[in-house]
Structure 1
Amino acid sequence: MTGASRHYVLAAGGTGGHLLPAFALATELERRGHHVALITDTRGAQIPGKPDFLPAHVIPAGRFGKNPLSWIKGIRAVLQGRRMALRLFDSFQPSAVVGFGGYPSLPTVLAAKSAGVPTVVHEQNAVLGRVNRLFARHVDAIATAYPEVERLDPKHSRKVHLVGNPVRAGVLSLRDEPFPPLGEEGLLRVLVTGGSQGARVLSEVVPDGLSMLPPALRQRLQVTQQCRPEDLDAVRERYRNHAIPAELATYFEDMSARLADAHLFIGRAGASTIAELTAVGRPAILIPLPIATDDHQAANARELAKAGGARVIRQERFNAKELAKQIKALADNPQGLGRAAHAAWNCGRPRAVEDLADLVESFGGADMMDVIRVGGNNARGASQGLPAGQGAVRESAE
Structure 2
Amino acid sequence: MNNKNSLLPPELVSKKKSIILAAGGTGGHLFPAMALAEELDNTIVDVHLITDLRCQKYLDQNQPIKTHIFDFHLKMTGLLNKVISVWRLSNVCLKTLWLIGKLKPHIIIGFGGYTSFPSLLAAKVLRIPYIVQEQNCFLGKSNRLFAGSAKIIALSYKETSNVSLSDTPKVVITGDLVRSSIRNLPIKNTFDNEEFRLFIFGGSQGAKVFSQIIPEAITELLKLNPSLKIHLTQQVSQDDQKKIAAIYDKLGIKYVLSPFFHNMAEIYSKTDLVISRSGASTVAELVNVGVPAIFIPFPYAMEDHQYFNAKAIENSKAGWCFRQEEITSIILSQKIYELIVDRKLLKETSKNLLNRKNNGAKYLADTVLKIIG
Q: What's the TM-score, normalizing by structure 2?
A: 0.89
Is residue 22 from structure 1 mapped to residue 30 from structure 2 by the alignment? no
For 1:106-255, what aligned pairs fall within 5 Å after superposition?
A: 106-174=117-185, 177-183=187-193, 186-213=194-221, 219-255=228-264
Task: State the 1:33 CA deviation.
Answer: 4.0
Which 5+ residue runs of structure 2 have no aligned equivalent? none
Deviations 1:219-272 (A, max 9, x none): 321111111222211221121121111011111111122112211111111111
Tell me the SS of whatever aligns to 2:158: coil
Which 5+ residue runs of structure 1 have no aligned equivalent? 366-398
For 1:93-112, what aligned pairs fall within 5 Å after superposition?
A: 93-112=104-123
Structure 1 residues 178, 310: CA separation in 2 closer, same or farther (over 3 Å shift)? closer
Q: Is the 8 A contact 2:191 2:346 kept in 1?
A: no
What RMSD, in angstroms, separates the aligned Cα atoms of the two structures? 2.4
Q: Is the 8 A contact 2:50 2:70 kept in 1?
A: yes
Structure 1 equivalent of residue 302 of structure 2:
293
Deviations 1:134-165 (A, max 9, x none): 11112211111111224321211011111122
**Which of the two has greater helix per residue?**
2
Distance, in Å, in 1 between the alignment partners of 2:227 and 2:277 is 23
Structure 1 residues 58, 213: CA separation in 2 closer, same or farther (over 3 Å shift)? same
Structure 1 residues 206, 16: CA separation in 2 closer, same or farther (over 3 Å shift)? same
Distance, in Å, in 2 between the alignment partners of 1:344 and 1:217 is 31
Identity in percent: 33
Letter in 2 for 1:180: T
Q: Is the 8 A contact 2:177 2:360 kept in 1?
A: yes
Aligned pair count reads: 361
Structure 1 residues 51, 131: CA separation in 2 closer, same or farther (over 3 Å shift)? farther
Task: State the 1:31 CA deviation.
Answer: 3.3
Letter in 1 for 2:213: V
Structure 2 equivalent of residue 373 of structure 1:
none
Distance, in Å, in 2 between the alignment partners of 1:102 and 1:216 is 46
Structure 1, 81-90 or 322-331: larger mean CA deviation: 81-90
Deviations 1:12-38 (A, max 9, x none): 122111111111111211133421111
Q: Is the 8 A contact 2:197 2:230 kept in 1?
A: yes
Deviations 1:353-386 (A, max 9, x none): 1112122223321xxxxxxxxxxxxxxxxxxxxx
Tell me the SS of whatever aligns to 2:29: helix
Structure 1 equivalent of residue 345 of structure 2:
336
Task: State the 1:118 CA deviation.
Answer: 1.0
Tell me the SS of whatever aligns to 1:190: strand
Structure 1 residues 51, 118: CA separation in 2 closer, same or farther (over 3 Å shift)? farther
Which of 30, 42, 45 does residue 53 from structure 2 map onto?
A: 42
Q: Is the 8 A contact 2:198 2:273 kept in 1?
A: yes
Q: Is the 8 A contact 2:48 2:66 kept in 1?
A: yes
Distance, in Å, in 2 between the alignment partners of 1:312 and 1:61 is 32
Which of 60, 65, 84 does residue 54 from structure 1 map onto?
A: 65
Task: State the 1:66 CA deviation.
Answer: 6.2
For 1:51-90, what aligned pairs fall within 5 Å after superposition?
A: 52-61=63-72, 63=74, 65=76, 72-90=83-101
Q: What's the TM-score, normalizing by structure 1?
A: 0.84
Letter in 1 for 2:292: P
